[in-house]
Structure 1
Amino acid sequence: MNQAITAIHIPEGKKVYFSSDNHLGAPTAEASKPREKKFIAWLSAIEADAAAIFLLGDLFDFWFEYKTVVPKGFVRVLGKLAQLRDKGIPIYFFVGNHDLWMKDYFKTELDIPVYHEPRIFDLNNKRFFIGHGDGLGPGDKGYKRMKKVFTSPFFQWLFRWVHPDIGVRVAQHLSVKNKLISGEDDQNFLGEENEWLATYAKRKLETAHYDYFIFGHRHLPMTIEVGKSSTYYNLGDWITHYTYGVFDGTSFELKEYSF
């Protein structure tokens, strides 16, 4: 992967936070509202010492940006993100398989950059490889084929011609019901040798060193040593586990939020 490495200096007493897989709006907007409020409470709790915040995708269970329309709802969490940015806290967003149709709304309205591929960050001289995790590693071939369709400009152009009231309803139904579309495989731990994101991390280490691989997508908090001085972390989710990652400038840790 040939790309510029973004360096972030973490001041003394500050931390970098990571979260993934909120799936706001699922299974219904009303049912997900308590989870949204809990996530906002977490954002408020980390506000004082956050040097940066990474959101690793599937913040929404479905998201599609028409030229002048975005999905209804999520006002509380969008407002909180705007507040954090207005206070000068950098936020980085990586699209997941449920919100991969995100374009420039976050950048334009919230000043939050949006990434569609994994990226490399240097945090206090520690090399981080960061992404949502969908479509990486071996297996999951059905979803990988489906992702090629969904990310094609022609398919997105066709979908944009569907009235939002119809298109969003159909997409939300498929997002919840169709596991091939959602890309959600077995959510049981497969073992260190069979977790495909761990396998992907090991392959990346053949060409370059990374201290940390940080992914979401699996909905399972996990820590796997993938090489000498190199660790893969999965952030879990905000549906069952309410887990997140925190880097204090020296070490990375998974934690569970409760309030």
Structure 2
Amino acid sequence: MDKNLKIYFASDQHFGAPNPEESFIREKKFVNWLDEVKKDADAIFLLGDLFDFWFEYKTVVPKGFIRVLGKLAEIRDTGIPVYFFVGNHDLWMQDYFEKELNIPVYHDNVEFIFNNKLFLIGHGDGKGPGDLGYKRMKKVFTNSFSKWIFRWLHPDIGVRLAQYLSVKNKLISGAEDVKFLGEENEWLVQYAKRKLESKHYDYFIFGHRHLPMIIDVGDNSKYVNLGDWIGYFTYGVFDGENFELKKFEELPK
């Protein structure tokens, strides 16, 4: 039992959107957050949509994001574990993070145990009831033949097309109006409650909804959504006993 744990969680940075100039400002803020949490972090979890679009060709990855990638490499080189879960915007991630940054990449929910607390962690897209249009579209996007076809597009064409669709098409992006829908209409809340019918989890940690919230879903069980780094700049921290959502406020320089 370690009561001095510091495990950090963040999600939905969407770097690259809505344009390089605005994204750059948010990227620098996120890098400053990484600089802060690395001082006492036992682990850092990134729960998807770090990029608004990401596709790995065999020899090419999207241009940009050098500051956040460099900072993650620096953190890993110090020995701090970093875990990455793909979101619906970067679901075409393959092994670049694993080979270049030594960061494991997960494509679905994974269980972790910290201080005898069982966590179920993932991005959250396509889970729970509803959202059938996105679930069908995700099957198309993750199909090996679809990825093979897209890979034949020149990166200048493929990346530009995907970035356009990501921003403009709500069905493809998985975006929706960011409003609390009530517990009975929040798909991830319903998903957590159904999971509890067969197994106890102390915490369900997800992103995707862009709303920071902690909701009791059962006896000693909480659903957490981490918010985003577009309007909220929120993150989660587990200290070995409790989980909190916090907002990153940069100190004046």
Hey, what does 1:213 align to over in structure 2? 204
Where in structure 2 are the equivalents of 1:1-259 lying within 5 Å? 11=2, 13-259=4-250
Provide the aligned C-alpha RMSD in A. 0.9
TM-score (norm 1): 0.95
Secondary structure in 2 matching 1:239:
coil
**1: CA distance between counterparts of 2:47 and 2:151?**
25
How many pairs align?
250
From the superposition, tell whether residues 12 and 87 of structure 1 become closer, same or farther in structure 2 (CA, over 3 Å): farther
Could you list the runs of 5+ residues in structure 1 that have no partner in the other structure?
A: 1-8
Could you say if the C-alpha distance between residues 84 and 27 of structure 1 is closer, same or farther in structure 2, counting changes exceeding 3 Å?
same
Deviation at 1:14, TM superposition (A): 3.6
Cα shift at 1:223: 1.1
Q: Quick one: distance in 2 between partners of 1:184 and 1:200?
A: 19
After TM superposition, the structure 1 stretch with the greater mean CA deviation from structure 2, 73-82 or 189-198, is: 189-198
Letter in 1 for 2:122: G
State the identity as a percent: 71
Structure 2: segments with no counterpart, 5+ residues: none
| Preserved CA contact (<8 Å) 1:57 1:216 | yes
Cα deviation for residue 185 of structure 1 reads 2.6
- Amino acid in the other structure paired with 1:241: Y
SS class of match (1:193):
helix
TM-score (norm 2): 0.97
| Cα pair 2:3 2:241 within 8 Å, conserved | no
Deviates more, 1:81-90 or 1:29-38: 29-38
List, as ranges, runs of 4+ consecutive aligned residues in structure 1 with deviation greater than 2 Å. Answer: 11-14
Q: What letter corresponds to residue 177 of structure 1 in structure 2?
A: K
The Cα of 1:48 is off from its aligned counterpart by 1.1
Give CA deviations for 1:147-170 in whole Å, capped at 9, x if unaligned.
Answer: 000000000000000000000000
- 1:40 corresponds to which letter in structure 2? V
